[in-house]
């Protein structure tokens, strides 16, 4: 079980805290708004009303012993920067902060953030990818030019084994797992002799351009 703190319980912070708690983690949730704290109380290990710009109040929580702290304080850039600085000085190992724009993200990294989040941008990317890539069932961004995706197999793949297709050598992509829908099964690291069916879903890792070339196959 891991331990996390979430500072700021607006829409993003509330749902992040709730999801972390639902995954079986210990979650300390905090906000200056009592109503928000009461709303998250049933979905967290502990919920407290606290001003996170008070460094001594933060220090008293033992956040440096946690696996990570998520900061989501709305549109007040100066507040998130100050909190990030305090967390770094306290000794928090993983500080993840919601950024409003690129300049905000740069400042956050300079004062100690180990990671920044652009929720609206990342959601827009997921939605646009789902619209422009209809055969990509799910999209997970990795490095700029790599994707980990679930795709329906091209017709050219159906009835052939992974050994016959030799995707790593021919297309520079790796099939890391296969979801079989009929019968329902999940195969991690499928064997070379696995024969692809039209009801299978391929979980594929590779460069975006290489994956796009596979999607273009008939």
Q: Map out the domains of the chain as residue ranges.
A: 3-117, 123-215
What confidence tens digit (pLDDT) does each residue in 131-182 have? 676 555 555 556 667 888 888 899 899 999 999 999 999 999 999 999 988 8
pTM confidence score: 0.63
Q: What is the mean pLDDT of residues 91-97?
A: 94
Task: Return the H-helix or E-strand segment holding 5.
Answer: strand 3-7
What confidence tens digit (pLDDT) does each residue in 3-40 have? 999 999 999 999 999 999 998 899 999 999 999 999 99
| pLDDT of 215 | 83
DSSP string, 44-106: SSEEEE--TT-HHHHHTTTGGGSSEEEE--TT-HHHHHHHHHHHHHHT-S-EEEE-SSHHHHH
Please check whether the two domains, 3-117 and 123-215, share a CATH topology.
no
What confidence tens digit (pLDDT) does each residue in 101-113 have? 989 999 999 999 9
- Topology of the domain covering 123-215: Alpha-Beta Plaits (3.30.70)
Q: What is the mean pLDDT of residues 35-54?
A: 96
| pLDDT of 144 | 61
* CA gyration radius, the chain: 22
Quick one: 3-117 is in which CATH superfamily?
A: NAD(P)-binding Rossmann-like Domain (3.40.50.720)
Where does the pLDDT of residue 78 fall: very low under 50, low under 70, confident under 90, or very high at 90 and above? very high
Checking if the pLDDT of 205 tops 60, the result is yes
Q: What is the DSSP letter of 195?
A: B
Q: Examine residue 66 and say whether the peptide bond preceding it is cis (omega within 30 degrees of 0).
A: no
Which carries the bigger pLDDT value, residue 201 or residue 130?
201
| pLDDT of 8 | 96
| pLDDT of 176 | 93
| pLDDT of 130 | 67
| Share above pLDDT 70 across residues of the chain, in percent, rounded to a whole number | 92
Mean of per-residue pLDDT scores for the chain: 89
Checking if the pLDDT of 98 tops 70, the result is yes
């Amino acid at each position: 079980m891991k331990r996390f703190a979430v500072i700021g319980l607006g829409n993003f912070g509330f749902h992040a805290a709730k999801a972390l708690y639902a995954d079986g983690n210990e979650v300390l949730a905090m906000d200056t708004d009592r109503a928000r704290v009461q709303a998250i109380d049933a979905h967290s290990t502990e919920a407290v009303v606290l001003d996170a710009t008070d460094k001594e109040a933060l220090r008293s929580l033992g956040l440096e012993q946690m696996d990570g702290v998520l900061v989501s304080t709305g549109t007040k850039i100066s507040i998130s920067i100050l909190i990030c600085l305090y967390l770094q000085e306290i000794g928090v190992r993983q500080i993840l902060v919601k950024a409003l724009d690129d300049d905000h993200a740069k400042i956050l990294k300079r004062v100690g953030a180990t990671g920044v989040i652009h929720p609206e941008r990342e959601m827009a990317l997921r939605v646009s990818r789902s619209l422009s890539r209809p055969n990509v069932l799910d999209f997970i961004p990795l490095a700029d030019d790599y994707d980990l995706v679930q795709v329906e197999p091209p017709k050219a793949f159906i009835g052939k084994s992974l050994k016959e297709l030799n995707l790593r050598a021919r297309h520079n992509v790796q099939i890391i797992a296969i979801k079989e829908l009929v019968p329902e099964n999940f195969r991690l690291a499928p064997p070379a002799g696995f024969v692809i069916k039209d009801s299978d879903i391929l979980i594929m890792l590779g460069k975006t351009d290489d994956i796009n070339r596979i999607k273009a196959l008939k």
